[in-house]
Amino acid sequence: MGFEELQTGVVISSPFLWAREAAAGETEGRKRRPVAVALRLARPGGDAVVLLPTTTQPPARERNAVEVPETEKQRAGLDTSVRCWIMLDEFNTDIIGKSYYLEPEPPLGVFSRAFFAPVARRFVGHVKAARKVDRR
């Protein structure tokens, strides 16, 4: 993968750092997990990406999450044998080409625009309440 492939809806593997881990002083994600590129933002020092984690752990009722349908799990290269959610109340940001965490590996897959556009809009609508971990 070239970094030009990191566009909205693309799913990659990344060591996502949860906000609770960062608050406890951790600096590295505990494991690589599928993350969705929510946004790619042009910046003078390098394009920034906003990454949303996926999880197979059912989110607590108060969490902001979207369950991924079977067809979308297939498109995104996710395990279709388990339920999966995109978490919208936590995100990581990073700079393409300057990151220690983004690798030029092939993406796992890509969500359809019909599925992911409303997900991204929902995230943007609630971004101020979301927990951010800046990986730059």
pLDDT, tens digit (0-9, with 9 covering 90-100), for 6-56: 899 999 999 999 999 999 999 989 999 999 999 999 998 889 999 999 999
* pLDDT given at position 136: 81
* pLDDT given at position 51: 97
In this prediction the pTM is 0.94
* pLDDT given at position 73: 98
129, 89 Cβ separation under 8 angstroms? yes
Number of domains in the chain: 1
Distance CA 38, CA 124 (A): 9
- Pair of tokens at residue 72: 């979308």
- Taking only the tens place, the pLDDT of each residue in 42-84 is 998 889 999 999 999 999 999 999 999 999 999 999 999 999 9
* pLDDT given at position 1: 54
72, 84 Cβ separation under 8 angstroms? no
Count of residues making up the chain: 136
3-state secondary structure of 99: coil
Distance CA 15, CA 92 (A): 10
12, 107 Cβ separation under 8 angstroms? yes
- Taking only the tens place, the pLDDT of each residue in 77-124 is 999 999 999 999 999 999 998 898 988 789 999 999 999 999 999 999
Enclosing domain of residue 94: 3-134
3-state secondary structure of 117: helix
